[in-house]
A and B are shown apart, each in its own frame.
Chain A
């Protein structure tokens, strides 16, 4: 075999391997979708009929889980938290990217340091704080959208600050200097010149916070009871009540994944840039 032939064969084998790996990685997701379109009987005895999919499990699940309520809660809470986290992170990230101030290093370290705290350590005090507010003030945070939004905002702001800092560092300083020469205030330059130039970063940060908030389970377990329960809680409750109805469970899994999949793939270009820039810059 000549060297060229051998190289062609190696190339071909690596291509095949690449597609093989892709199939293995995608298989569980495809299995989730396929299973959601079968009846629970078919799931139990394994004779899938992929040519005759049914959407029965979706409509059953919608009723038995009362999925609409959880879905609406998740959308409201995650959108609110992601928007607030992005706003706070962009102003704090801008401060870290452009300004020196007493305590800037300590602040940057504390922000990262929050990621070291196990949720279980501050969950109970947050819960107690919410209970106290409920009993002693008109501020309703326990089992409300607002309470969950505030908690999730705090959770996902720290890493967002570092994403935004990386994006701001890539914007030339001359841009806001020119705006200030033209009579903008410092804040005006930030809002009117820097922010629009960092739009891809804002979008990436928003989607990052949304994705992670969508996935949060531990605090939702303790801080919601009825009105503000999110999708993970709905799924957990469903497992507790109808553990054998796998068709509905798979359907619920598909529906809970669709919003994040859509958000992710729609913004993939910027998100990937934000995630990798954040990681590379550390």
Chain B
């Protein structure tokens, strides 16, 4: 993920990303200074984006601003009637979440935050690895290729609430098929683990998330693999490169933009995971599997701690913004490549 050019990475010009759309045009002709025709075109474009823009402002932007405002209020059961007129708390919510070790909300937050980081890292990492491995397998020609490629997508189409219900059933200690396979049929484990309570419950939500995510990662990687010209591999093979070297120096660099985009959205999507722990383990999944989203929803809607919930949400959004910046620094070069 370093930004220093290496031999196996296509070197591109440094500096800010050039205009991505329509690179043939000079970089910034200001429409306002352009001719009447150009201005008319721009006006038409505004009409085209108007409906989507209106929805974005009404459902995303204004409510998000309002939500951020609520995070500075002391909004709880007693002040809820006054809503936006609740007492101003300044940074108190943030202070107690981040620094007040005596406040149970602080430990609840740090626990859920580290759980979320753990969940996200394992889910995204293994989803991408698994997706890539399966894509490589399916990129060969073999009997039934089309059918297998299609069927492999099935887990991704199963809704996540169904995934949660199904795996909750499969994780049951006595009747669940997982323990039956691991303990009764194969004897991999000596005694039956409890999956839905305690330490294991984190894995009880990670494994189904990976299972559901892999087909999508595979789909994207497979499209990327198919776009790699066969001649590259053939030429490298003639020059004596083995399969691993070809993978390392041809396939992987060419897949980098796809890895980048999936990392970006995978991390955001996982950090905001709610349905799987909530349906599988209930509104309080317990200290081992409580994610930030389940924490926020529980504290807000069960305990009416809306100011607190809004503050945690805002912190999470800031964390994701930070992630996007880190990501951008690491992969800027690949975006330039992909836009060509």
Contact = CB atoms under 8 A, between A and B. Distances in A.
Interface of A: 11, 14-15, 17-19, 21-22, 25-26, 28-29, 31-32, 35, 43-46, 87-89, 91-92, 94-102, 104, 107, 110-111, 114-126, 128-129, 150-151, 153-155, 157-158, 161, 186-187, 190, 211, 214-215, 217-218, 221-222, 231-232, 235-236, 239, 246, 249-250, 252-253, 256-257, 260-261, 264-265, 268, 272, 275-276, 279-282
B338 A117 contact: no
Give the dominant DSSP class at A's interface: helix
B14 interface: no
A272 B153 CA distance: 10
Given A121-B67, A124-B300, A150 B214 contact: no
B238 interface: no
21 contacts: A17-B137, A18-B140, A22-B152, A25-B215, A29-B155, A88-B51, A92-B52, A110-B56, A116-B268, A118-B272, A121-B310, A125-B63, A128-B83, A218-B297, A232-B159, A232-B279, A236-B278, A246-B169, A249-B165, A257-B162, A280-B258
A256 B300 CA distance: 29
Nearest to B30: A102
Contacts of B297: 120, 218, 221
Please provide the 6 A-B residue pairs with the shortest distance between their CB atoms, ordered closest to farther: A154-B59, A122-B63, A125-B63, A99-B45, A121-B313, A276-B223
Given A22-B148, A26-B154, A157-B56, A121 B49 contact: no
Interface of B: 21-22, 25, 29-32, 41-42, 44-46, 48-49, 51-53, 55-56, 58-64, 66-68, 70, 83, 134, 137-138, 140, 142-143, 148, 150-155, 157-162, 165-167, 169-170, 175, 177, 180, 211, 214-216, 219-220, 223-224, 227, 257-258, 261-262, 265, 268, 272, 274-275, 278-279, 293, 296-297, 300-301, 306, 309-310, 312-314, 316-317, 320-321, 324, 335, 338-339
Given A44-B175, A124-B67, A217 B161 contact: yes
Nearest to B176: A46
A253 B52 contact: no
A272 to B, nearest CB: 6
A114 B58 CA distance: 12
Given A25-B214, A128-B83, A117 B137 contact: no
B316 to A, nearest CB: 5
A107 B29 CA distance: 17
A150 B59 CA distance: 9
A62 B29 CA distance: 61
B162 A157 contact: no
Given A100-B29, A257-B162, A124 B154 contact: no
A266 B55 CA distance: 30
A268 B22 CA distance: 30
Contact of B339 (A100, A119, A282): A282
B209 to A, nearest CB: 13
A186 B37 CA distance: 12
Contact of B159 (A104, A124, A215): A215
Given A157-B55, A217-B279, A280-B223, A28 B211 contact: yes
Contacts of A157: 52, 55-56
Given A100-B29, A257-B162, A125 B258 contact: no
A253 B143 contact: no
Nearest to A232: B161
Give the dominant DSSP class at B's interface: helix
Given A122-B67, A124-B306, A124-B310, A253 B32 contact: no
A276 B219 contact: yes
A89 B52 contact: yes
A260 B159 CA distance: 8
Nearest to B158: A257
B270 to A, nearest CB: 12
Contacts of B66: 122, 125, 128
B223 A91 contact: no
A28 B163 CA distance: 9
Nearest to B71: A121
Contact of A261 (B134, B148, B157, B262): B157
Contacts of A45: 175
Given A100-B22, A102-B32, A282-B338, A253 B162 contact: yes
B32 A120 contact: no
A176 B8 CA distance: 42
